[in-house]
Structure 1
Amino acid sequence: MTLEISRLLELTTWRVFDVADDGRVLAGCDESGSVQLVELAEGGCTELTALAGAVVGRYLPGERAVVVQHDSDGDERGQLSLLRLDDRRSRPAPLSELEPLVRDSEHVHRLLDVLPGRIVYATNRRNGVDFDVVIRSVTTGEEHVVHDGGGMVAEVAISPDSRFAAITVPATKPLSDQVLVADTMPETGADQLRELTDRDLAARHLHPGWQPGGLVVTTDAGRDRTGVARLDPRTGGHHWLVTSDEHDLSGRLSPNGRTLLVLTAVDGAHRAALHEAATGEHVVDIALPSGGWCGYPLPEPVWSPDSRFAALSFSSPSTPGDVLLVDTATGTCTPLTSSAAQLAEETLVEPTVHRVPARDGEQIPCFRYAPAAPDGSAVLLIHGGPESQSVRSFHPLVQAMVSRGHTVLVPNVRGSTGYGKRWYSADDARNRLESVQDLADLHRWLPSVGLDPSRAALWGGSYGGYMVLAGLAFQPELWAAGVDVVGISSLVTFLENTAPYRRAHREREYGSLIADADFLREASPLNRASAIAAPLFVLHGANDPRVPLTEAEQIVEAVRANGVAYEFHVYPDEGHGLAKRANRLDAYPKALAFLSRHLG
């Protein structure tokens, strides 16, 4: 049975944003066509917002109120507002009914944390480039800057006494983070800011959380695989709590500092368990629905302020997206939504896991979605990032392609996370084209699983779009077609034209415009565009601050000069990707029809 892409795109999904002490969950729901806030409780689902674009939010602790982060048409210039929750409200609130908290449409404001009566956010309003960390009183509007050291800010955790802020910022090495500790009351005589870890250390430091014995983080300092460790707040020394030599682990500390929610990554899915935070000792496994819990691109797990509940976003290839509530006293996991119930008549395909041999003896992790009646064609779906990974979650495009007879391969090429530091570092800077060579290795593997190498296409978004264009430009004899969604066509013009606050952050991964310009030109598909012979389908959002529209325009102009068949679609109310269902319903059927024509 052929699955209509419109039917799959119209399925409602849920994802978690926050959980209160009474078990109410603040969630995102896309039933309206973009992600809006809803509240899930025993009484059902209450719609909270009705804004023009997608939103995220957090509860304000101790109050019946929600902090809402929103932007305009995908421009990622986040604005912060307050929604007072009234049980008598009969309809979701439009923007006009939200109380402004931080509004300045020329700059980016990103919610980092919520405290009783206060919010913690990052803003680049000082100079449009560097992000400061600000604590703001919701009542008086009084603000206190706790960090203005420049650059990007990833995460912030405020200590239980509000005295210290642990801040993670990009370090100098690719995909590395430095931990800073800021004193929120520097008048006491203490240094206002201390470096808890070395800026030049090649290591990740994620999900900081405070406990009496120090700061708990997810890190791979001195290891290939990430584990959970306690950092000494004076020396920065590591004491390991939970580790594995086979899998990446990540931990989220409860607000009371007593319990760790530990996720174990296993080939694009996750197992979940609770551990004692003081010792790292395993307490209980969380019984998740079959298929594992997938953390990307869904939001992170969250804890209730009193640490009684944890809430998770859940997805699998046959589950579009649900919210799970975990009672941490028992480890009991309760689904609050049931997105799979919408699929009573459809059968979705689960992938098989493979290791594809590469040219140099490496093994490329890959998920294969095979149709019941394959027609021999193959589509390689490449994830973005590049510091990201493909996971075994619901993907409407994958299921639609499989139902049309295409076998879909979803690889984690070099540079992907989830397989250790060595693998995610294997494409850094001047090794960029090593990941592109992985595409040729995957192509070489196709006949071994009964696929026709002359009928293979590439599909990818963002950095995955770069991979599509690089495959067509550097390996023109291999690929029959390509679909590029908000992709990079030139690493040089991308770095020159991306939002200024992103440039230095991205140069860590791709290389510097000053030191590596020669290689950046060499690795850019635009410089080899004359070799592109395969038909090309290009999608882009006009407001994309990450990969500017000019990246799409210049590659389209180049393939037009080649006489190559192409389609080019720009959506004026979108940014980095298609967030609105109406645009996805317009774009993706066209892309699938394009593939069908050119794969036969």
Structure 2
Amino acid sequence: MIRVKKKYSIEQFVNCESLIGVSISPDDGKILVGSNRSGVYNTYAFSRSGDKVEQLTSSDDNFIIPKGYFPDGRKFLFSSDQGGNEITHLYMQKEDGKQIDLTPGTEEKAEFHRWSLDENSFFYESNKRDPRYMDLYEMNIDTLEPTLLFTNKDGYYVAAISHDKKYVALHKPRTANNSDMFIYTKEDGVKHLSEHDGDVHYQPVAFDLDSNFLYFLTDEEHEFLYLKRLCLTSGMTEVVAKEDWGIVAARFSPTHKYLYYYVNHDGKTEVKVLETATGKAVEITDFPEGQISGLAISKSEKYMVFLVNRSTAPANLYVYEFESKTLNCLTNSLNPEIDENDLVHAKVVHFPSFDGLDIPAIYYEPHLEDGEKAPALIYVHGGPGGQWTVDFNPMIQYLVNHGYAVLAVNNRGSSGYGKTFFKAADLKHGDVDLADCIEGKTFLTETGKIDENRIGIIGGSYGGYMTLAALTFQPDAFNVGVNIFGVSNWERTLKSIPPWWEASRDLLYKKIGDPYTQTDYIRSISPLFHAENINKPLIVLQGANDPRVLQAESDDIVEKVKENGVPVEYIIFEDEGHGFTKRENQVTGFRAIREFLDRYL
């Protein structure tokens, strides 16, 4: 007998807990973590055993991300913006709950970098001198006075700081496919470390403990990023770790006993931990299935904490003890009202596009009766250059639970599949990448489980643009569109990017197009200038405080579609930015999307 799968409300899905920003207290006794269990992301302290949980902040409005305890183990650092405007400040919260804004400039954006090895300070970046560029500062934790360490006048990204504070490693993208690394010293200024020809990435990640080596990621003579190190005295380089897929990040434990790195393996995230001295892999027994994120190793280097989620369950918090090789899960983030067996496991699939190029995707197929055919959605990620991975997504599971199939397409131009695939849509956006998504319909119909006359397209940010591009440039390809803060007018968006994105301005122009010198082309790929073609129902969701995709982008396309006499629904969240972080707004938005799809698909 087949068990009937239960249907769940959007409130039940959104009431799953989401965790971010994990770190361990200096005495190993507590774990600091961000959670939205209150409906808004706040900071909590878990005892290492998980038997005690204390809420440390109580914001009703703003997204709070913990950055770690101060060395005394009582005060802690967190970052927060205002209503999603992305102008993040750094705050210190004392034992009595009093909060001090450490970067109080009205328009100052500050980003935490790391704590110093001597525990007398922390490093952070701020654009208070020039809103376009992030300078590097060191803040003394006793006086709370900052010292400027590096003045960034040329659009660098600060990548790493040596423990002796002598060196600062810098990263500078030339295009989305080509970047350089530099090293700064007070005595010699900025020195270029990566002279090369062609498209190659060089991205510094860390110095060794004695400031003899600079570790960096590169795709030199390889499709994927791998880890190398450069001897700062001899100039010689050597490979540290190379995989069949891309290494996307690498870090050391506090005193460099361990080196760990993340591998992006066909839409799944793997983490490998090495003993730095020997290069030997640390075998972790009973490692949980799923996507690993937020890994941190304690100051004592006895414990490791991390988050693991899978397609049918949100991230849970784990503690691993190296010596005893014991693993302990401290949370159960899935709403207890939901039976995980009722949810659908994501499948990594591949299908050929119009020109034979292999396109990866994540497929969610609803539970169906024999002979039943489901409506479906092509879901496009953000970016350009983003990637779908096999993670828990409450909105996707909600839609699938209510009978919709979802194919989350990693169209050409997505990251994670090598540099050739990544640059295959440059200056062709809304064209070849859209064609990949349309070919996803063939994959869906060939399963025999999908009604080919009921397929829609959905996406957020760049994916929202792709939704509008589909309805505009291929108006017969999809039956409905769901646009979540998507670009409708590239000319305006590219001219109005936030000032702190100045270092990436040329990168975006070379990938999408220059709004000043390629105006005709930019308008040709902007749905707003061709909106008369839209003849299918559309729903649009937008955050009023979005600094990346301005509200005008959604306002204008909605007005144009109304002029066509086409059904269009529009929801604006006054207290959100580029992404909806408040549980109440997620409920409202996700429910509206499903009701729209029920009505028109």
Q: When the two structures are superposed, what TM-score results if normalisation uses the length of structure 2?
A: 0.90
Whether the aligned pair in 1 keeps the contact of 2:227 and 2:247 (CA below 8 Å) is: no
Matches within 5 A, 1:198-347: 198=195, 202-203=200-201, 205=203, 207-212=205-210, 213-234=212-233, 238-246=237-245, 248=247, 250-278=249-277, 280-285=279-284, 287-290=286-289, 292-295=290-293, 300-329=294-323, 332-340=326-334, 342-343=336-337, 345-346=339-340, 347=342
Q: How far apart are 1:463 and its partner, in Å? A: 1.0
Q: Which moved more, 1:481-490 or 1:155-164?
A: 155-164
The one-letter code of the counterpart of 2:591 is P
- Which residue is 1:47 aligned to? 55
Whether the aligned pair in 2 keeps the contact of 1:251 and 1:260 (CA below 8 Å) is: yes
CA separation in 1, counterparts of 2:235 and 2:329?
A: 39
Describe the SS at the equivalent of 2:282: strand
> Residues 345-378 of structure 1: CA distance to partner in whole angstroms, max 9, x if unpaired?
3521101221111111111111111111164211
Task: Find the partner of 1:389 among 380, 387, 390.
Answer: 387
Whether the aligned pair in 1 keeps the contact of 2:412 and 2:421 (CA below 8 Å) is: yes
Task: Find the partner of 1:537 among 524, 527, 539.
Answer: 539
- Which residue is 1:195 aligned to? 192
- Which residue is 2:162 aligned to? 159
Distance 1:487 1:151, change over 3 A: farther
Distance 1:158 1:473, change over 3 A: same
Matches within 5 A, 1:51-70: 51=59, 52-63=61-72, 64-70=74-80
Matches within 5 A, 1:78-117: 78-85=88-95, 93=97, 97-115=98-116, 116-117=119-120
CA separation in 2, counterparts of 1:534 and 1:256?
A: 58
Q: How far apart are 1:199 and its partner, in Å? A: 8.8
Task: Find the partner of 2:18 among 13, 26, 31.
Answer: 13
- Which residue is 1:525 aligned to? 527
- Which residue is 2:518 aligned to? 516
- Which residue is 2:3 aligned to? none
Whether the aligned pair in 2 keeps the contact of 1:303 and 1:311 (CA below 8 Å) is: yes
Describe the SS at the equivalent of 1:282: coil
- Which residue is 1:554 aligned to? 556
Whether the aligned pair in 2 keeps the contact of 1:541 and 1:576 (CA below 8 Å) is: yes
> Residues 467-488 of structure 1: CA distance to partner in whole angstroms, max 9, x if unpaired?
1111111111111111111111
Whether the aligned pair in 1 keeps the contact of 2:376 and 2:456 (CA below 8 Å) is: yes
> Residues 14-40 of structure 1: CA distance to partner in whole angstroms, max 9, x if unpaired?
234322343322111101111111112
Q: How far apart are 1:446 and its partner, in Å? A: 2.3
Task: Find the partner of 2:145 among 142, 146, 150.
Answer: 142
What percent identity do the matched residue pairs reach?
27
Describe the SS at the equivalent of 2:594: helix
CA separation in 2, counterparts of 1:251 and 1:376?
A: 42
Distance 1:239 1:437, change over 3 A: same
Task: Find the partner of 1:2 among 3, 7, 16.
Answer: 7
CA separation in 1, counterparts of 2:559 and 2:182?
A: 46
Distance 1:432 1:131, change over 3 A: farther
The one-letter code of the counterpart of 2:193 is L
CA separation in 2, counterparts of 1:437 and 1:548?
A: 27
Whether the aligned pair in 1 keeps the contact of 2:169 and 2:204 (CA below 8 Å) is: no
CA separation in 1, counterparts of 2:204 and 2:42?
A: 27
Q: Which moved more, 1:151-160 or 1:303-312?
A: 151-160
Distance 1:199 1:152, change over 3 A: farther
The one-letter code of the counterpart of 1:83 is Q
Q: How far apart are 1:235 and its partner, in Å? A: 6.9
The one-letter code of the counterpart of 1:336 is L
Distance 1:175 1:108, change over 3 A: farther
CA separation in 1, counterparts of 2:474 and 2:263?
A: 36
Whether the aligned pair in 1 keeps the contact of 2:162 and 2:206 (CA below 8 Å) is: no
- Which residue is 2:348 aligned to? 353
Describe the SS at the equivalent of 1:391: coil
Q: Which moved more, 1:345-354 or 1:512-521?
A: 512-521
Q: How far apart are 1:165 and its partner, in Å? A: 2.5
CA separation in 1, counterparts of 2:327 and 2:154?
A: 39
Whether the aligned pair in 1 keeps the contact of 2:230 and 2:237 (CA below 8 Å) is: yes
> Residues 236-282 of structure 1: CA distance to partner in whole angstroms, max 9, x if unpaired?
65411111234546432223233221333222222323223356443
- Which residue is 2:399 aligned to? 401
Distance 1:552 1:465, change over 3 A: same
Describe the SS at the equivalent of 1:181: strand
Q: How far apart are 1:325 and its partner, in Å? A: 2.2
The one-letter code of the counterpart of 1:442 is G
CA separation in 2, counterparts of 1:7 and 1:532?
A: 35
- Which residue is 2:499 aligned to? 500
Whether the aligned pair in 1 keeps the contact of 2:170 and 2:204 (CA below 8 Å) is: no
Distance 1:492 1:294, change over 3 A: farther
Describe the SS at the equivalent of 1:322: strand
Distance 1:301 1:352, change over 3 A: same
Q: Which consecutive unaligned segments of at least 5 residues does structure 2 have?
A: 1-5
- Which residue is 1:27 aligned to? 33
CA separation in 2, counterparts of 1:286 and 1:529?
A: 56
Q: Which moved more, 1:141-150 or 1:529-538?
A: 141-150
Q: Which moved more, 1:390-399 or 1:127-136?
A: 127-136
- Which residue is 1:436 aligned to? 434
Whether the aligned pair in 1 keeps the contact of 2:110 and 2:127 (CA below 8 Å) is: yes
Whether the aligned pair in 1 keeps the contact of 2:547 and 2:577 (CA below 8 Å) is: yes
Whether the aligned pair in 1 keeps the contact of 2:138 and 2:148 (CA below 8 Å) is: yes
Describe the SS at the equivalent of 2:239: strand
Q: How far apart are 1:435 and its partner, in Å? A: 1.2
Describe the SS at the equivalent of 1:416: coil
Whether the aligned pair in 2 keeps the contact of 1:209 and 1:252 (CA below 8 Å) is: no
Q: Which consecutive unaligned segments of at least 5 residues does structure 1 have?
A: 87-92
- Which residue is 2:473 aligned to? 474
Q: Which moved more, 1:12-21 or 1:129-138?
A: 12-21
Describe the SS at the equivalent of 2:493: helix
Whether the aligned pair in 2 keeps the contact of 1:155 and 1:207 (CA below 8 Å) is: no
Distance 1:82 1:355, change over 3 A: same
Q: When the two structures are superposed, what TM-score results if normalisation uses the length of structure 1?
A: 0.90
Q: Cα RMSD between the aligned structures?
A: 2.4
CA separation in 1, counterparts of 2:566 and 2:20?
A: 41
- Which residue is 2:363 aligned to? 368
Distance 1:19 1:400, change over 3 A: same
Whether the aligned pair in 2 keeps the contact of 1:358 and 1:441 (CA below 8 Å) is: yes
Q: Which moved more, 1:503-512 or 1:55-64?
A: 503-512
